[in-house]
Structure 1
Amino acid sequence: MENSGGIQASLPGRYATALFELARDAKSIDKVEASLATLRAALDQSADFKTLTTSPLIARGAATKAVAAVATMLKLDATTTKFLGVLADNRRLAQLPVIIRAFRQLAASFRGETTAEVTSAHALTDDQVTALKQSLRQRIGREVSVDLSVDPSLLGGLVVRIGSQMIDSSIKTRLNSLALAMKG
C-alpha cells in the first residue's frame, strides 16, 4: 500500500501502518477502526484510562495486564487487543491518540475518502455530523470521514482540518480577531 511519507516517518505512524496492514490482510479494517473509536472514546471519558496510557510510573507488566482487562471490558477485536499489548510491552501507550488518528487516515485513504479532523466546543449530534459530512463532501468533491474531538475553550463553532487546509469558525478565534482589530 502506498502511504504518505508523513505517516510512515513518525513512530506512531509506523505503528499505525503496521496495524493497518494486519487489519487489511485479515480483512478486518472496519472492526479495528470501530475498536479504535471505542478506545478513543474511553480515553476521552476516563481519566483513569488516560493515566494508564500516559503514566511512566506504571510498570510494563502492570500496563500490559491492565490494557488486556480494558480490551476485554470494551469488547475490542482480537487484532486491536494484541496491538494494545504490543504498545504496552514497548511502552508506547502514550502514543495511542496519534496512532488512532493515523490509522483512521490510512483506512479513509484505502476507501478513497478524505479525513477531516473536526474540533467542536460541544459534542455534535448524529444529525449535525451527517450535515457536516454532506457539506464537506460538496466542498471537496469526495467522501469525507470525520475524526471528532471536543474542546470547550472554543466556546462555539467548529475548527475543521482537511490535510493542510483549515476552516476555523470558532467563537474563540472570532473574539481574538475582534480584540486584535480593536487594538488598532
Structure 2
Amino acid sequence: MNGASREALASAREQLDALTDNTSVDAATLAEELAAVTALLDREVSLRRVLTDPAQTGQARAELAERLLGGRVGGPTTELVSGMVRSRWSRSRDLSDSIEELAYSADLVAAQRAGQLDDVEDELFRFSRIVTSNPELRSALTDQNASVTAKTELLRSLLGGRANPVTERVVVRLVGQPRGRSLEAGFDALSKLAASRRDRMVAVITSAVPLSEGQRQRLGAALAATYGRQIHLNLDVDPEVLGGVQVRIGDEVINGTIADRLDEVARRMAG
C-alpha cells in the first residue's frame, strides 16, 4: 500500500485494538461481519469506489456507510467501517484489503482472549505444510470449478473437532474467499498477523530431525537477541536438510548447522 492507504490502515488497526480492548465486544462476531463487508465491497466495486471517492467529504462517506450497514451488522462493525471510510485511500481496493485484514485480526483477538493464540499459530502452520505437501488436497482446495460449499465441507471433515474453532474459521474463510491470492500467500499473511498480535516475528525452522526442547530454547533465545524482538518458531522437519537447519525469517533465509548458526549469532552479539 502507498502513503495514504498505509496511514489509513494504521489508524484502522488502532481503532480495532480500541474496540477489542472492550471485552463486551464479541471479537468472533466482529470478524464475521467484517468478512461479510469485505465480500460486499468485492462484489460491488462501484460502491467501494464511492466509499473511497476523494471528491466526497469523509463525513459524507461515513454517513453513507452507516446507512448501508446500520441494522445489518452490529454497532462495533459499523463504527469501525465508518471510521475507515473517513480516511483517504490511495486505491479503492486498499479499503477492502484492509477490512479483510481486520477481520482476520479480530478472529486472532478471540483466540488471544481465550489464551489459545499459540495453538492457532501452530495449527495454521501445520495445516499449511500438510496442504503444501499434498498436491491432491491443494488442488481440491483451489479448484475454481468446485463450489465453496464443497470446499467448506472438505475442510470441516479435516479440521472439525481436531483444530481450534478459530483455526477452522479462518482457514474456511481463506479457502472460500481467496481474493486472487494463492493459498500459500494467504497462510503466510495469517502467520504474520498472528505473530504481530504480540509484536513477534515468525521464524520457520526446517531441520532434518525434530529439535530437542533445549535446542529450540537456545535457537529462539539467540534469534530474539539478534533481531531484538520475540521470535515465534514454526518447526518443520525435512530429511533433505541433511543434519543442518534452515532458518527463514521474512525474506531472509539462513542455511547451516545449528552449531554454526548459534556461533554466528554469538559473533553478532559480541560485535
**What's the TM-score, normalizing by structure 1?**
0.63
1:61 aligned to 2:145? no
Secondary structure of 2:202's aligned partner: strand
Runs of 5+ unmatched residues, structure 2: 1-8, 14-93, 258-271
Distance 1:111 1:60 in 2: 32
Q: Is the 8 A contact 1:12 1:98 kept in 2?
A: no
Secondary structure of 1:84's aligned partner: helix
Cα RMSD for the two superposed structures: 3.7
Q: Is the 8 A contact 2:206 2:236 kept in 1?
A: yes
Distance 2:216 2:102 in 1: 27
Distance 1:59 1:155 in 2: 42
Q: Is the 8 A contact 2:121 2:194 kept in 1?
A: no
Distance 2:127 2:114 in 1: 20
Runs of 5+ unmatched residues, structure 1: 4-8, 171-184
Secondary structure of 1:118's aligned partner: strand
Secondary structure of 2:161's aligned partner: helix
Measured against aligned partners, the alpha-carbon deviations of 1:92-128 in whole angstroms (never above 9, x if no partner) come to: 7x94443333223223233132222222233323332
Residue 164 and residue 67 in structure 1: after superposition, are their counterparts in 2 closer, same or farther (change >3 A)? closer
Larger radius of gyration: 2
Deviation at 1:76, TM superposition (A): 2.1
Distance 1:25 1:60 in 2: 25
Percent identical pairs in the alignment equals: 24
Which deviates more from structure 2 when the two are superposed, residues 38-47 or residues 101-110? 38-47
Residue 82 and residue 113 in structure 1: after superposition, are their counterparts in 2 closer, same or farther (change >3 A)? closer
Instruction: Pick from 249, 259, 264 the counterpart of residue 162 of structure 1.
Output: 249
**What's the TM-score, normalizing by structure 2?**
0.46
Deviation at 1:91, TM superposition (A): 5.6
Query: Matches of residues 35-54 of structure 1 in structure 2 within 5 Å?
Result: 35-45=120-130, 47=134, 49-50=137-138, 52-54=140-142
Distance 1:82 1:95 in 2: 18
Aligned length: 162
